Structure 1
């Protein structure tokens, strides 16, 4: 099939009341048509996945099982377990790989842990180190008292540092990677209380855009000359605003960096924001229905937007307008149980 793209789809399985069976392989062709290639491997709630930068190895969290595990690609669309599961934290919901293949980082929504796992030259997990405990800077001013830390995602920075979000403490944290020791705190960026920073996307200008789960906004943070990141702006993800029951999900950028896409669960929308020419900010410009229910994650690739609708058990494709960035569709749909994350197989 011309321009065929293989996509790994993570899922929620029966242990989290989901309909998935594990990691599924999907195929997308040059016309946006989607096909299920079949179950790549059975696993319990592999809700988030990461790809080794150079090897055919996939890393998956087991969100309910509180583990992280490596899987090795065998054949075109199959995976096999690669080593044993490694312990993680409560509700481990995200994993990301170091661009140099030295480690992966898992973040845990349930208890706020940020955990670094060392990798060997084959991509196998060989060690585990938890980062320092989280401290909530808003506690002193919060009428509700202490709030639980909820680490939600990580982003690898070009200078070797690692950035993580804490949805519970409204923080973006920056860590130094220390070989043999793990992650050490560098500094933190405080977001508005109650915003709930969730996922991040780094623009080629160096700006990091953070979407917020609770306030359904996009925060812009940029690095100062001294190496610290500062919050520059916070804007609504949608020009029409957040509605009751809404929750921000994924944020992704178009390859040329002109547009940002934010999924909104609840009202089930994909919001489009235009990135300023210098990459220093975003402005909401439009939105479309997500084509299903509860858009947990989406992927922007080669002029197409693929949305994982967890609630309607499907993945749908949209064609992206080159000028406006607006999604057109859905063009195609494929059924798959409780999809939670979409990852190009490389």
Structure 2
């Protein structure tokens, strides 16, 4: 089988920083099949309705709209985020949201080939870690299963904020452990459970959720190997194709924590697999094939892992060179 991925990276505007990559699972090969310019630091990508939406992680802060066609990508519109450093983007139908590291969330609407900012909310506060939590630092926007809300991870204030998604009206705030730095959120597809990877202490937190935006903390599990004392920052979360395992990537240590998903969504103590590069910023698990593709930001490469029956991802000596890759999503998927 062949799968097509979009890769976001850090690049100058004139550089081709958006990559199109083919994953050939039969031959276990990665191939770069396209590269596209037109956005400075296209660090995170989202696809919906035949368009690719790009977060331009710059001091100016923009969302950029590309039409996906047979030739690749055609840039159509740019909208100002109203905040510095959009570092995550989510899209569905014609609606788009960016998480702005400067401390805010922006909503946009696409009307044909136009993209317009329609709502904006600014966070306030700080956290325990003076170096990393001097101010709000919003890191991700994730849709609630009810279709009505989004959950926003604010690394700077140790907060999970639930908003009504269309007008960004605040519904609920949940404080995480002081100094934890919530980064990315992932809902279980079948259970009323949310998982959050905390960047600053490299843990995974588990929350019970309900359809009205309600969240309650259940547990937090350490992701690092016992005895590790070096630099570390939690990065991303993904499920295995059969949802039996949850993977967490950890930078600094540069490996994966593998949790068994149990019963009502509880997590086992993790097993660990060392990675194949430096700084695993983002990774993607193919939805119906036992393969995992990881973007290694600081060693400038994309690496292919095969998932064993026991859930462990094993590097199979297949890489392609990509300059500072930081996002991996599947083409044709929201």
**Any idea what SS the aligned residue of 1:284 has?**
coil
Question: Quick one: which of 243, 255, 263 aligns to 1:269?
Answer: 255
For 2:272 and 2:238, the matched residues in 1 are separated by 14
The residue correspondences of 1:92-171 to structure 2 (distance < 5 A) are 92-98=86-92, 101-109=93-101, 111-120=102-111, 122=112, 124-131=114-121, 133-136=122-125, 147-159=134-146, 160-171=148-159
Tell me, yes or no, if the aligned pair for 1:215 and 1:242 is still in contact at 8 Å.
Answer: no
2:331 paired with 1:340: no
Residue 5 of structure 2: aligned partner: 7
Question: Quick one: which of 321, 333, 340 aligns to 2:308?
Answer: 321
Pair 1:82–1:169, CA change in 2 (3 A): same
Residue 191 of structure 1: aligned partner: 176
Tell me, yes or no, if the aligned pair for 1:66 and 1:89 is still in contact at 8 Å.
Answer: yes
Question: Quick one: which of 77, 80, 90 aligns to 1:83?
Answer: 77
Residue 74 of structure 1: aligned partner: 69
Residue 55 of structure 2: aligned partner: 61
Tell me, yes or no, if the aligned pair for 2:79 and 2:116 is still in contact at 8 Å.
Answer: no
For 1:313 and 1:294, the matched residues in 2 are separated by 9
Tell me, yes or no, if the aligned pair for 2:81 and 2:117 is still in contact at 8 Å.
Answer: no
Aligned residues between the structures = 325
Q: CA deviation at 1:237?
A: 1.3
For 1:191 and 1:319, the matched residues in 2 are separated by 34
**Any idea what SS the aligned residue of 1:48 has?**
strand
Residue 209 of structure 2: aligned partner: 223
For 2:212 and 2:306, the matched residues in 1 are separated by 41
Deviant stretches of 4+, over 6 Å? 143-146
2:293 paired with 1:306: yes
Task: Give CA-to-partner distance per residue, 1:54-98, whole Å, 9 cap, x none.
Answer: x2101001101411111111216x111022343341111000113
**Any idea what SS the aligned residue of 2:235 has?**
strand
2:250 paired with 1:250: no
Q: TM-score, normalised by structure 2?
A: 0.91
Residue 23 of structure 1: aligned partner: 18
Tell me, yes or no, if the aligned pair for 2:97 and 2:107 is still in contact at 8 Å.
Answer: yes
Pair 1:243–1:119, CA change in 2 (3 A): farther
Pair 1:337–1:143, CA change in 2 (3 A): closer
Pair 1:227–1:143, CA change in 2 (3 A): closer
The residue correspondences of 1:197-216 to structure 2 (distance < 5 A) are 197-204=182-189, 205-216=191-202
Tell me, yes or no, if the aligned pair for 1:155 and 1:164 is still in contact at 8 Å.
Answer: yes
CA RMSD of aligned residues (A): 2.3
Residue 42 of structure 2: aligned partner: 46
Pair 1:296–1:144, CA change in 2 (3 A): closer
Pair 1:149–1:242, CA change in 2 (3 A): farther
Q: CA deviation at 1:242?
A: 5.3
Tell me, yes or no, if the aligned pair for 2:149 and 2:213 is still in contact at 8 Å.
Answer: no
Which runs of 5 or more residues in structure 1 are unaligned? none
Which runs of 5 or more residues in structure 2 are unaligned? none
Tell me, yes or no, if the aligned pair for 2:107 and 2:118 is still in contact at 8 Å.
Answer: yes
For 2:33 and 2:229, the matched residues in 1 are separated by 37
